[in-house]
Chain A
Amino acid sequence: METSIYAVVAFYGLAATILGAATMVVFMRNIVHSVLFLAITFIAMAGLFLSLDADFIAAVQVLVYAGAVCIMIVLGIMVIQRTDMNETNLFNKQIMAGAGLTALTVAFGAIFAGRTAWVELVAADAVPANTVDAIGALLLSKYVIPFEVAALLLLVALVGAIVLARDEEVQANADN
């Protein structure tokens, strides 16, 4: 891991951006603003990946989530019908459930953070210049089953979308 002054400044700047933007996602009252802050969070995450020399994952982060953010806003606008956009992302009274979920998340985070061998990770060799080849080879050899399962999941989602969006007219004609 790089420990030059630039890397440290970049890390803390990005970390502050991520945390700040993520907090704003929760506290914004307008759902569109929330999602725009989510976009900032994702892009700052991509920056974090870049600072770890994981350029491919950084590009995936931007490519996948930038599109997803747009679709999320569109869904948010279409599904939530309020006259005032400032009342689209309000707090509710589910304090107990929220607290429980948060505690669970923090606990799991702590457990996994404790179990990770950080020293070995830090002492790892330098990142190879070209990571794409290695990722591609791994995806189609060692991790081929999860890869295919993910592909299957996407296919199921695609078929589901087609079934849901099917034209009424088509169904009417199918009876004839």
Chain B
Amino acid sequence: MLENLFVGTADWLRSLLGGIGFLPTEIAESIVLLVKLVAVLVFILVNALWLVYMERKVAAFMQARIGPNRVGPWGLLQTTCDIGKLISKEIIIPKKADKVVFLLAPVLIFLPPLMVFAVLPLGKNMAALDLNIGVFYLLAIASLSTLFFFMGGWASNSKYSLLGAMRTVAQMVSYELPLVLSLLGVIMIVGSLNLSDIIAAQEHTWLIFTQPIAFLIFFIAAVAETNRCPFDLVEGESEIINGPYTEYGGMGFAMFFLAEYANIMVVCAMATIMFLGGWHAPFGLTFIPSWVWFFIKMYVLIFIVMQFRWTYPRIRIDQLMGFGWKVLVPLSLANIFVTGIGMYIYRAIGW
């Protein structure tokens, strides 16, 4: 019953629209798709709100504090309250800012996470769209966010923002390479770019066990891609005052802030799909619905990402670049090589 909650809802909506009769199937289908996409958007926003709260709580517990605890039970409404405050703030545009680009950046920054979540299979048969080239699409769309960060930083026309924008480009372009290369091992083993196929291939063995190094590389590169500590040089509160967002106030800042958490969700969901078996239940615990499993895995990864931030100090920019190009890239290339040889040996043995 619970397993098919969302799939059933979609089917019900489809049959309801079909029952109206006079609607052509294309229109009915696009309405169903629209509903799915709006659901995805609401899902991302609610999760991003929750993640801000979770981050503050995790941080507080790691520092032996209590954290937000005034607004609502256990401070649960704290972020809702914060967003209300940010919405009501005046939108300040610096005099010498590039106005159109400045205003467009926080609007567009939410586009990549939304477009990515539209294709992620969040549970059994639960991809809003099932693409043949899923993995490739994900990487292509995720790479777009660099541009939007850069737009925000450049248009602010402030030194800190420009520095942050330059760092965004340098860091994201560098860490995209190990990110993509680490996924190649997975794709070689599965033999498909389709996300549903990749999950189906992990029914018995999660790929984290066959590709442990690829998982580590992917996870590190993903943390760097989302500008999280210890790779948060792009924002670097203490050195360049939040980088690209320095000049943003109110809702513009909130959009960047929420987009950061949406991006964390995206990379953790990707890691779940690629390496942790997606919605497959471990140990045959199938009485828990597949989408619950997906969220448990995703949130475990998100927790690890948050825990990083309060465990490690920020690294220097040359260390960051050196680590990316001299350690992660060669390691991921070696992983591809070893995977290829391993696959031939397995095939020769006849497993």
Interface residues of A (CB under 8 A from B): 6, 30, 32-33, 36, 39, 55-56, 59-60, 62-63, 66-67, 69-71, 73-74, 77, 85, 129-132
What is the minimal beta-carbon distance from B318 to any residue of chain A, in angstroms? 10
Across the interface, do A70 and B147 meet the contact criterion of CB distance under 8 Å? Answer: yes
13 A-B residue contacts at CB 8 Å?
A39-B147, A55-B137, A59-B133, A59-B136, A59-B137, A60-B136, A67-B143, A67-B146, A67-B176, A70-B173, A71-B169, A85-B98, A132-B133
Q: Which of B132, B133, B137, B169 contacts A70 (CB under 8 A)? A: B169
A66 engages B132 (CB within 8 Å): no
For B147, the chain A residues whose CB sits under 8 A away are: 39, 66, 69-70
A133 to chain B, nearest CB (A): 9
> B101 near A: Cβ within 8 Å?
yes
Closest to A78 in B: B166
CA distance A69 to B149 in the complex (A): 13
Q: Is B193 an interface residue (CB 8 A)?
A: yes
Give CA–CA (A73, B165) in the complex, Å.
Answer: 11
Q: CA–CA, A30 to B98, complex, Å?
A: 11
Q: B residues 149-170 with Cβ under 8 Å of A?
A: 150-151, 154, 162, 166, 169
CB neighbours of A66 from chain B (8 A): 140, 143-144, 146-147
Contact of A73 among B131, B144, B154 (CB under 8 A): B154
Interface centre among B98, B146, B147, B151 (most CB of A within 10 A): B147
- CB contacts (< 8 Å) of A130 on chain B: these are 132
Q: Is B143 within 8 A of A63, CB to CB?
A: yes
Which residues does chain B contribute within 8 Å of A60, judged by CB atoms?
136, 140
In the bound complex, residues from chain A placing their C-beta under 8 Å from that of B150 are: 70, 73-74
- Per-residue A-contact encoding for B118-148, CB less than 8 Å = 1, 0 else: 0000000000000111001101110110110
Q: Does B26 sit within 8 A of A, measured CB to CB?
A: yes
Bound-complex Cα distance A71 to B136 (A): 21
Residues from chain A with Cβ under 8 Å of B144 in the complex: 62, 66
A12 to chain B, nearest CB (A): 19
Complex contacts, B162 vs chain A, CB 8 Å: 77
Q: How far is the CA of A69 from the CA of B172 in the complex (A)?
A: 13
Are A62 and B146 in contact (CB-based, < 8 A)?
no
Q: Are B26 and A6 in contact (CB under 8 A)?
A: yes
The smallest beta-carbon distance between B97 and chain A, in angstroms, is 11
User: What 5 A-B pairs are tightest by C-beta distance, nearest first?
Assistant: A63-B140, A62-B140, A59-B140, A59-B136, A70-B169
Most buried by B among A30, A59, A70, A77: A70
List residues of B (195-250) whose CB comes within 8 Å of A's CBs.
none
B101, B133, B146, B166 pick with most chain A CB within 10 angstroms: B133
Residues in A with CB closer than 8 Å to B141 are 62
- Smallest beta-carbon distance A158→chain B, Å: 11
- In Å, the complex CA distance between A173 and B273 comes to 48
Docked Cα-Cα span, A23 to B104, in Å, equals 21
- The one of B26, B139, B140, B166 in contact with A74, judged by C-beta atoms closer than 8 angstroms, is B166
Say whether B101 contacts A33, CB under 8 Å: yes
Expressed in whole angstroms, the Cα–Cα distance for A130 and B144 within the complex equals 24
A6: nearest chain-B partner, CB-CB: B26
Assembly CA distance A30 to B136 (angstroms): 33
- Chain A residues with CB under 8 Å of B146's CB are 66-67, 70
Contacts of A32 in B (CB 8 A): 98, 101, 154
Question: In the complex, A131→B139 CA distance in Å?
Answer: 18
Q: Which residues of B contact A6 (CB under 8 A)?
A: 26
Q: Give the complex CA separation of A42 and B26 in angstroms.
A: 28
Within the complex, the shortest CB–CB distance from B126 to chain A, in Å, comes to 21
